[in-house]
Structure formats: structure tokens, C-alpha cells
Amino acid sequence: MEPLARRTLLRSGLLAAATAVAGPALLTGCGSGGDSSAPTGAGPRRGGTLRAAFTGAGAGETLNHFVGGTALDMVRARALHATLGDLDPSAPDGVRYGVLETIEVDEELSAYTLRLRRGLTFSDGSPLTARDVLWSLSSPADDPASLPVYRNPASTFDFGGARVEDDHTLVLPTRAPLADGRMVLCQGNYLVLKENSDFSPGTATSGPFRLEEFAPGEGCLLTRNEAFSHPEADEAPYLDGLELRSLPDSDARAAALTGGQVDLAHDLSPVTARTLRGDERFTVTSTDPPYVSGLFFRMNLAHEPFRDPRVRTAFKLAADREAMVESVFFGDATVGNDLLGPGFPDYADEIEQRPFDPDRARRLLREAGAEGMRVTLTTGPETPGMVEVATLYVENLVAVGVEATLEELPAGQLFADYPAYARLPLAASFSVPTPALPLYQMSYGARNPAALGWDRPDVDELVATARGTSGEESARAGLAAQRTLWEEGNTIAPVFKPFTTAHVPGVAGVADDLFEQFPGFSRATLS
Amino acid sequence: MSWSLFLLRRLAALVPTLAALSVLVFGATELLPGDAVGAVAGPDATEAERAAVRERLGLDDDPVTRYLRWAGGAVRGDLGTAYTGGRAVHELIASRLPHSLLLAGLALAVTVPLSIALGLWAGSRAGRRADRAVSTGVLLVAGLPEFVTATALWWLLAGELGLLPRVSLVPLGGSPLDTPEILVLPALTLAATGVAVGTRLVRSASAEAVASPWIEAARLRGVGGARLAVRHVLPGALAPATQAFGLITGALVGGAIVVETVYGYPGIGLELQQAVAHRDIPLVQGIALVLCAATLATVLLADLAARALDPRRGSLR
């Protein structure tokens, strides 16, 4: 009952009380290694320019993060533009607000009122208003080049019917009753730009830093934005400057760190991270759920054997998840339970962990007449560990009597031909940290091509109910939907891997920015 | 054959060669899995969104029409618009190519004198122990994959000795020449392969020259040692070696993908690697075409230099 009560409380805005009941697991997302949280005692140290390396794009890189999907795009955007808010299970509303003071929801769950903090300005001194917030949320939907993540709010909120009541109040009607709208708006990636921003280097910014120098494909130099007002730390940002570097290769990022050319290297491969953990000159931190990426495989229901639920269950039971965590990630990863979004408040962590049971898998395959079935698992090095986990999984399948083979595509090709990808019998993929139920609606429900044949209007309805109601009803529907997915779904999600960052010991306060998969520096210090 | 006729013939040969290469480049990108729609519209796009992107990019046309449109643009200097960022492809190439040319120039500055010295020395001693040592050594280096050479140099010069930066970070808003030390490791890595190949070619030409009657005559006149090598062997070996260096130069400009990725150096090779990873097809096509043109241009220059050194080359036969 505890987790159910927790989710109920979350939605009624009483999570602080719930965390004490539900235990520490819920709070793991709040920090990732004490070394990178803010120093205590004498107060944060001011000054210094922190240098950090991320995966970036090439010479075509722009300052428009709506169209740029690299880690550097996101980190730079969060340094330049203030966030609406971040997910924070320990906060009263389940989110920690940025430029917002509160988000109020009406009784029918059909309108969200966003109230802005007073006195906020852009770096050019102009006031930050509700019109800027509305433009920042709605404009990506009008640009076909925008990334799906930025177009998603338009499928949840009716921006055409939005009302700017005054400079500090924005009312957003929903397209359908919605209980988790705060979680949708405050995921850390919705940022406030000045209305009609052209993303040129001279554009006024609302975030902790402003742009000093931008070299597309190489990096950027940012300086402290004196006009920035941090909601919790009056003196922040503490750094004088921030130098963000683009290094697409994980080994090059690690080399820049060990060679003293940067102070922080983001998203390291498991092997590199393990090497650096043994070097006392550096601190290695890994994110905890919910800031983790799921490595999963999806069975295509258009292929005959996978239409039998016994075969799907057998494929799930065949996965030796602990071995994957140990041998690919040297223990620095989380075992998955075939559901996405662990760590988020709407994730059904009350569902029992699926065991590794090759004997039962073999028996189920025999019963289904699928013993010795042939299947090819297609994967690619789209994120560190993806190919290695797929390799182990193929071995697991062979061990239960499946004639499984692995096809590894070159980097960048797995999703390049999406119609072809959607026809694969068994396809690898990965998820980014997103709450479980919105993620279902975005990429799995309503016959989405990414679902590879999953078509269950009853589950779609349960998810819609969970998101469109509050309290017990919402929690029950969310749990029922995920229970069905767990039992009958076509996803095998054996491992959730962290985003691993290494830095010199003098770096602190990065984890305090939340949204840990893409480090923020509004409260970072350097000594 | 006069110089003007020689030049005209070479230039006339360049046009169909470049045209054929452009067909190959276009055809190769057509064969990449998927089409541009997936890259532009994203994996979650609806069929309607995909159709809109397809129409906007003109992908409903047949491949021949699309090739002619692309090639026609290329002739006018318009290589299209990159998917990432929406900037003109020629602008992106112009921002990266000078970095790679600088690296190739430095690598060549090491490659040419070292290859000539080693090749001449080994060729003058063809079949002897010194020749076998040099030939085996360069064969080993030539056989090493570039990332192995890069890793070895990186380990020694940046790791163990700490003499050089591990990653080639260009100062923001500056040029690689502002911090020349970042160029050393990538240039040395490129030069290692260049020296290995160049030495073998110079050695071969030198050995051939050493066996010629005029060298024998010089020896009978009492000429020997360095004087024989520089005054008599080298002129005979220089013309074929120059053409070899032309090919090496083309390879240095276009073949720096591994080296630039390992060291994070923002050149055309790293740009090409990222364009392929992001399936930025106009950028891949543009870079590949420019690299083909650059290689042809260096080969032409080498031909001209070789003819200047040995006027018999390029004569009508």
C-alpha cells in the first residue's frame, strides 16, 4: 500500500510527508554522489571559470536548442535560459520551480495557471513576462524542425486557447483532463526565452550565464549573468565563467580531463569511468534513477512467434539482468523490470522484480511451440553499453534454446530508416529520463510506430485515466496499465544505465541543479 | 608537348573525373540506409509530418533529377543546406577545411624531407642491411592503423612525458596557430603514415636510379657518398616521388578522420564523421565532393611539378 499512497500524495501535493513513508528510494534522484553537491559550512566559493566537455554537434551547430539534440545543446541552453522548473520528488509539488512561483490546477484538471516570480529580467534588463513563457512553450510546435520533446507540450496543452492574464500570470487550458501537468512542464528542459528570440549570439538570456563567445562545433564561453535571480540561492551563480567544449568522442573527453584541459567530462563509457574511478585525482559520479537511460529490446508483434504472450514472457525471463549490470557496467547500473521511467513518481515500483529464470523460459517456449525459433536482434552503438548488453542478451536467448543472432549496425544507422526499424523482429533501443505515463503516450500508446505492433486501446485508456484523474483513481489506473505492460507487453528492459561524469575534486554544486543527465552550473563552484 | 597543351589536357581530364566522382558520392549517400526524412523529421514523426518533410526536401523526385539538381547547384557553388543548423554547406566546409589544410601542410612539411632522406639513403644502399632495416621499419609503420599510431604517440608524448596537450582544443574564437602545440600530435600521427608511404616510394625510385648507367658512370668518375645521392640519384628519383607526394597530400587532407576524432581537432575529417553520424546528407555529399576535388587538384599540381623536374614526363608518346 505504501507506494500507492505515495503516488496519491504526490498528486495532492504532499510528497514531503510521503517520502518519509515510502523510504529513501524515492529520494535517490535528488543527488548523485556527495562530491558534486554544494559545499556546506563556510558558504559557496565565488569565482573561477569552469571548463567542461560534452558531446556536441559539428560546425552546423546553432544556439537554437529546439533543433539541437546533443548534450552540449541542452547544457548550454540551461546555462543561458532559466528553467520553468525541475522534477524534484522531495518538493511539495513534486517539482522545484525556476522562474515560476507556483502552478495551480483547477478542479476539473483542465486548466493550469502558471504564476511567475516577480522582478525577473533578461540580461538586457527587460522584464521576463508570461508572454515570454507562452512563446517559449508554444513556438517549437510551429517549427517542423523542432525536436519532438519540445513539440510535446502542444499535444498536452491548447496554446491557442492560452490566456496571458497579466505579466506574471499565464493560464494554459489542457486538451484533456490532466493531473500531472506540473511534471510535464517542469522536466528541466522547458526554458524561458525572450519572445520572438532569433537565437543569435546577442540574444538576451534569462539564465545564470550569458554568452561571451560561440564557436559552432567547438564550444562556447559564458560569463555570469548579473541579472539572474536564483529562486533559492541569492548569490548564485558563483562561477565567473563557464567554458563548454564539444568533444564527440568519449575517450577524447576523458583525455581532456586527465590532461588538465577541462575540469569536468560528461557521459563517459563504462570502461573509461572504471579507469577513472581508480585515479584519485578525479571524482566520478553516476546519476541515479530517475536520471538514467534504459537499454531495452522490443519484440515486434507483427512477427508470428511474438504474438504468443508465452513467448514474450520467455524472452523476458531469459535476460540475465544482474550479469549485464556487472559485466557491462561493472556494477554501476540498475536492473530493469521491463517498464520504463524508474524513479519517476508515476513509475509502478510496487510491481515485483522479474527474475532471471531460464528454465521457465525454456518451458514456456516449448509450450508455445517456439523452441528453436530463429530471431535476429538488431542493435547499434547509439549510446555506451548498448551493443554489449545486446550481445549478452543474445547469449541468454541461445541458452534457452532460441537460435538468436546479433546484427550490429554502424553508429547512427539504427534509427536512420525508421520504417525499416519498425519492421525488425527484435530491435534494440534506449530511453531518456521521462516520466512513465507521459512516455507511454508519447512513444508507445495509440499504435505509435515505435511500439512495434503494441495496440491495446484498453491500456491507452488506463493511462489516459491515470493522467486525467488524481488521487486513488489515478494511482489505480497507472498501476493497472503498467501491470498489463509488465505481463503482456513486448518490451524487455533489463538495464538502466547512469550518465557518468568525472571531474576534478574542486568542482562542487553540480548535482544541486537537478536534471542530472545534463549537468547544470547555476550553483556550481570551483576551488 | 607544350606546357599549355599539357595543362589543357590535364584540366580536360579533371572535369569528367570529377563528374564521375560526384556520381559516386551521390550514389553512395543514396545507398545509406533510410532517407533524409528520418533524419529531419525525427523518429516520432507522423506520416503527415514525414510527407511534408519529403516534399520540402524534394525527395519525391527520382534520383536522376535529384542528382542533376544537386550537381547543378554544386557547379554554381551551391552545395545545399545542412540539416543540422540549416546553414549553407559551403560555409560549413569553409570553416573547417582551413584547419585540415593547416594540419596536412604541417604533416607534409615533416613527411617530404624525412621521406626523401630515408628513401634516398635506403635506395642508395638497395639490398643491403640499411635498406632492409629502413624498408622493414616503414612497412611496419605503414601497416599500423592510424588509431594505433595516434594512441602510441599520445601515450608517449602527452601521457608519459607530458610534453603536449592530450586533446587539440582550438582556443574559442581563435585559430589553431594561437596554440601551435595542439597541432603537434595530430600532425605527427598523420606524418607517420605519410613518411612510411613516401619513404617506400622514394626508395623505390632511388634504387631504380642507382642501377642506371649514368650513376654507374658517375661512380666510375669517383663521385660517391652524399654527393652522389644528392647531385645524381635525387634528380632522377624526384619526379616520380613528387607525384607520390601529390597522392599523399590528398590522403592527408581527406584521410584525417581518425586522427581528428582521436584528438578532437575541429577539421573537415571530424566534420565528415559527425555529418555521417547525424545523417546530414547534404553535408556528407558536400564534404566528399570537396575532398575529391582537393585530391584531384593536388594530383594535378604534383603532375605539373614532376613535369617541371623531368620534362620528358607528359610528352606525347
At A284-327, the pLDDT tens digits run: 999 888 889 999 999 999 999 999 999 999 999 999 999 999 99
Distance CA A395, CA A391 (A): 7
Probe site for chain B from A62, A214, A218 (most B CB atoms < 10 A): A218
User: How many angstroms separate the CA atoms of A176 and A111, rounded?
Assistant: 10
Rounded Cα distance between B41 and A472, Å, is 39
Distance from CA of A438 to the nearest CA of B (A): 14
Q: Where are the alpha helices (DSSP H) in chain B?
A: 3-31, 36-41, 47-56, 63-75, 89-124, 129-143, 146-153, 181-210, 213-220, 225-227, 234-254, 257-263, 268-277, 281-309
Which residues of chain A lie closer than 8 angstroms to B280, CB-CB? 58, 60
The ipTM, to two decimals, is: 0.80
Q: Is A498 helix (H, G, I), strand (E, B) or coil?
A: strand
Mutation for testing the B interface, residue in A73, A243, A247 having most B CBs under 10 Å: A247
Four-point Cα dihedral B247, B248, B252, B254, nearest 10: 20
Is some CB atom of chain A closer than 8 A to the CB atom of B156? no
Per-residue pLDDT at A174: 94
Say how far apart CA A411 and CA A391 lie, in whole Å. 16
Structure confidence at residue A4 as a pLDDT band (50, 70, 90): very low
Show Cβ contacts of residue B112 under 8 Å, excluding neighbours closer than 6 positions. Answer: B198, B245
Q: Shortest CA distance to A133 belongs to which of A85, A68, A76?
A: A85
Burial of A423 (0-12, 13-18, 19+ CB in 10 A): middle
Residues 6+ away with beta carbon under 8 Å from A261 = A51, B165, B166, B167, B169
Tens of pLDDT, residue by residue over A153-192, are 898 899 999 999 999 999 999 998 988 889 889 988 899 9
Sign of the dihedral defined by the CA atoms of residues A403, A409, A413, A417, in that order: negative
Higher pLDDT, A355 or A415: A355
3-state secondary structure of A429: strand
Q: Which residue has the cell 582550438?
A: B170
Phi then psi dihedrals of residue B112, to 5 deg: -65, -55
| A368-396 pLDDT, tens digit each | 999 999 999 999 888 888 999 999 999 99
Classify domain A292-498 at the CATH topology level: Dipeptide-binding Protein; domain 3 (3.10.105)
pLDDT for B282 equals 87
Q: What per-residue string of b and e applies to B244-282 under the rule 16 or more CB within 10 Å gives b?
A: bbbbbbbbbbbbbbbbbbbbbbbbbbbbbbbbbbbbbbb
Contact criterion met (CB < 8 Å) for B38 and A243? no
Please answer yes or no on whether B85 and A411 come within 8 Å at the CB atom.
no
Q: Pull the grid cell for residue B196.
A: 612510411
Bridge partners (DSSP) listed for residue A166: A169
Q: Which residues pair with A36 in a beta bridge?
A: none
3-state secondary structure (DSSP) of residue B247: helix
Mean pLDDT score across all residues of chain A = 87
SS3 call for A169: strand
Q: In chain A, positions 347-376, which contact chain B (CB-CB < 8 Å)?
A: none
For B11, residues 6+ apart whose C-beta sits below 8 A from its C-beta are B300
What pLDDT shows up at residue B63? 85
| Cα dihedral: A410, A415, A421, A427 (round 10) | 70
Beta-carbon contacts of A304 under 8 Å, excluding residues fewer than 6 positions away, are none
Taking contacts as CB-CB distances below 8 angstroms, the residues of chain A near B165 are 259, 261
Does residue A340 sit in helix, strand or coil? Answer: coil
pLDDT for the residue A11: 33
List CB contacts of A332: < 8 A, sequence separation 6 or more: A270, A273, A274, A286, A497, A498, A500
In this prediction the pTM is: 0.82
Residues A6-77+207-286+501-526, CATH architecture:
3-Layer(aba) Sandwich (3.40)
Query: How far does A269 lie from chain B, in Å, by closest CA?
Result: 15
d(CA B203, CA B210): 10
Q: Rounded CA gap, A365 and A400, in Å?
A: 8
Q: Taking CB atoms and an 8 Å cutoff, what residues of chain A touch B34? A: 413, 416-418, 420
Measured CA to CA, the distance from residue A441 to residue A439 in angstroms comes to 5
Three cell numbers, residue B162: 607530458
Task: Pick the closest to residue B245 from B289, B294, B202, B181 (CA basis).
Answer: B202
Cα–Cα distance measured from residue B92 to residue A59, given in angstroms and rounded to the nearest whole number: 6
Tell me the pLDDT band of A491, cut-offs 50, 70 and 90: very high
User: Which residues face A223 on adjacent strands?
Assistant: A210, A241
Q: How far is A273 from chain B (nearest CA, A)?
A: 18
Provide the residue-wise pLDDT of chain B in tens; the chain has 317 residues: 677 888 888 888 888 888 898 888 888 887 766 566 766 666 556 667 777 777 777 778 888 888 898 889 888 889 988 877 778 999 999 999 999 989 989 998 999 899 988 988 888 888 889 889 988 998 888 888 888 888 899 889 998 898 999 999 999 989 999 999 999 999 999 999 889 888 988 888 888 888 888 888 888 888 777 788 777 777 777 777 787 787 777 777 766 788 898 898 999 988 988 888 777 888 888 998 998 888 888 888 888 887 887 766 655 43
**Residues belonging to chain A:** 527
* Domain A85-185, CATH homologous superfamily name and number: Dipeptide-binding Protein; Domain 1 (3.90.76.10)
A155 contacts chain B (CB < 8 A): no
- What homologous superfamily does CATH list for B92-309? MetI-like (1.10.3720.10)
- Residue A175: CB partners within 8 Å, gap ≥ 6? A155, A156, A157, A158
Q: In this predicted structure, what is the pLDDT of residue B123? A: 85
Contact A58 B166 (CB under 8 A): no
Convert the pLDDT of each residue in A414-431 to its tens digit: 876 777 888 999 999 998
Cα–Cα distances in angstroms (integers) from residue A229 to residues A50, A102, A123, A206, A500, in the given order: 20, 16, 11, 9, 29
Q: How do the domains of chain A map onto residue ranges?
A: 6-77+207-286+501-526, 85-185, 292-498
A316 touches B at CB < 8 Å: no
> Which pLDDT value is given to residue B35?
61
pLDDT of A22 reads: 30
**Cell numbers that stand for B177 in this block:** 596557430
Smallest Cα–Cα separation from A252: which of B144, B259, B271, B173? B259
CA separation, residue A520 to residues A266, A413, A445, A524, B172 (Å): 12, 30, 32, 8, 21
User: Helix or strand or coil: residue A129?
Assistant: coil
CB–CB of B188/B103 below 8 Å? no
Res A69 pLDDT > 90: no
Closest by Cα among B258, B278, B276 to B267: B258
Closest partner residue to B172 (CB to CB) among A215, A248, A443 is A215
Helix/strand/coil for A365? helix
Domain ranges, ordered by start, for chain B? 3-75, 92-309
Question: Residue A508 pairs with which residues in a beta bridge?
Answer: A525
User: Looking at chain B from residue 84 to 103, which residues have their Cβ under 8 Å from any Cβ of chain A?
Assistant: 84-87, 92, 95-96
How far apart CA B185 and CA B161 sit, in angstroms, is 13
Nearest CB among A61, A261, A421 relative to B85 is that of A61
The continuous run of DSSP H or E covering A2 comes out as helix A2-11
Tell which wins on pLDDT, B316 or A50: A50
Helices (H) and strands (E) in chain A, counts: 16, 23
Report the candidate in A424, A403, A393 with the shortest Cα–Cα distance to residue A318: A393
For B172, which of A219, A247, A261 is closest by C-beta distance? A219
What lies within 8 Å, CB to CB, of B182 at 6+ separation is: B165, B167, B168, B169, B170, B176, B263, B265
Strand partners of residue A192: A82
**Do A383 and A293 contact (CB within 8 A), yes or no?**
yes
